[in-house]
Amino acid sequence: VVGAFSDPQAAFGRLAGHTRPGGHLVLVHPAARGVAELAAEQARLVKGSETHSCAWDELRRLASLHRLRCELEMLESRLDCTECLARSPTGVAILSHCLDADLRRLCEPKMLRLLQSLWRLATIGEHGAHVEETTAIFLLSKPRAGSAGAV
């Protein structure tokens, strides 16, 4: 995900530079809801720092800047967070991966605040709990030499 780089514009430029005319790039970018929302909300608590992420509009701007055509598809999904809310070893491992932090070492008050946020985001059903996720999939195309510029 380009937004994870410290300098998204430079990273995007490098990706575009390595794409040949007529070639394609596929970028997957989380929405600011679901796990991404939890990560942004909990970054200071868990990691001790803010996280930043490119907004979809910023990715479109970068595509235009590098003369890439941009198509956007939205993928709706659900993350089963039952194990996470139960604080099982598997659930803690899943949360650690999603938040890019080792939560096994997180002190109890911080873990409780994290779980409180997850409970707020989760939908609880008869067969467990899940968090709604939206992911943007950008298909970027570099025009062939001599064709019209970016759309």
- The DSSP code sequence of the chain is -GGGSSSHHHHHHHHHHTSPTT-EEEEEEE-SSTHHHHHHHHHHHHHSS------HHHHHHHHHHTT-EEEEEEEEEEEE-HHHHTT-HHHHHHHHHHHTS-GGGS-HHHHHHHHHHHHHH-EEETTEEEEEEEEEEEEEEPPPTTS----
- pTM greater than 0.85: no
Average pLDDT of the segment spanning 57-72: 87
pLDDT at 33 (0 to 100): 72
Kindly tell me if the per-residue pLDDT of 149 is higher than 70. no
Kindly tell me if the per-residue pLDDT of 112 is higher than 80. yes
pLDDT at 3 (0 to 100): 59
